Amino acid sequence: MAQVGPTTLEPNVAVEAANAPQGAAQLVRDLVSLTKPRLSSLVLFTAGGGLWLSDVDVSWPTAAAAVLGTTMVVGGANALNCYLERDADLLMERTRERPLPARRMQPSLALGFGVLLSMVSIPLLTTMTTPLAGLLAAIALILYVLVYTPMKRRSSLSTLVGAIPGALPPLIGWTAATGRLDVGGLLLFSILFLWQIPHSLAIGIYRSAEYEKAQLKVFPNEHGLAATRRQAFLYTIPLVVMPLALIPLGLAGWTTLVVGGGLGLWFLGLAWQGLRQEGEGPWARRFFFASLIYLTGLFAALGLDGLWRALV
């Protein structure tokens, strides 16, 4: 009989040792991907912006809880969305490599992860910031998971519904500091709400075939490309002037006037191009990326104005 000794077992031990860290690292990456980290990073920006622009002196623990809690509730909503849409995600090129459609993760784990993030984030916001911030976060979670996600299979009006929870992070940040629904916070909410419509319409145009295959309703497939371009243009118009309304409130200054106004006119110009030219796919991609530049630049300008206001 052959002797089983250390030399015989070493290759198997080495393989297990090599695979274990790799498997754990992949699991972490997959869990993070469920939260849609690119969207979550934008939430860090907008929720922090709302907190900063409120001009209320809050402690570092409160500020950290506000930004972390908002990011967590959005991450939890996204994870639950991935769980509910795992079959549709399999049919779309941009989503089929996510952990659930790619079968790298059990659906029950994604469900549990989304529920955990949601259960931690809302009490965190409620107890560490203000009850109103926690309430708004709960509303955002319910609307996104239980209303918007199933509605995507029935009507393109789901875009308007989804824009509400998508626009709440700056208002959550604002109320985490103030505990009130003020004009400034509501204006930030309105800007983000309006911004999401042309942003989403652009995605709907250049991903229309994928949405059709996945049986998800988007405006271009229901109403046609010409109507979609008109809607994108109409929703972009107020984004030129609404940020300037923050100036009389003392929440913005010259940086927002110049940068925000300039970005708004540029964004509107691209929307106007969409009305006047063919080639929807290339234009829609440019318009989509322009929407990201617009929002990032606007909040950066607002942040600089807030910094200047704090220094003087």
106 phi/psi in degrees, rounded to 5: -75, 135
48: part of which helix (H) or strand (E)? helix 37-53
Q: pLDDT in tens for each of the 312 residues of the chain?
A: 434 444 444 444 333 433 445 578 888 999 999 998 887 778 888 999 999 898 888 999 999 999 999 999 999 999 999 999 999 989 888 888 999 999 999 999 999 999 999 999 999 999 999 999 999 999 999 999 999 999 999 999 999 999 999 999 999 999 999 999 999 999 999 999 999 999 999 999 988 889 998 899 999 999 999 999 999 999 999 999 999 999 999 888 999 999 999 999 999 999 999 888 766 778 999 999 999 999 999 999 998 988 887 776
Query: Contact, 284 vs 231, CB < 8 A?
Result: no
The DSSP output letter for 246 is G
Radius of gyration in angstroms for the set of CA atoms belonging to the chain, rounded to a whole number? 22
User: Residue 21 corresponds to which tokens in the numbers above?
Assistant: 């860290």
> pTM here?
0.87
Query: CA nearest 211: which of 100, 84, 89, 98?
Result: 89
- The Cα 141–Cα 125 span in angstroms is 13
Its CATH architecture, for the domain 34-180, is Orthogonal Bundle (1.10)
Measured at the CA of 161, the angle between CA 140 and CA 76, to 5 degrees, comes to 35
238: part of which helix (H) or strand (E)? helix 238-241
Q: Where are the domains of the chain?
A: 34-180, 182-312
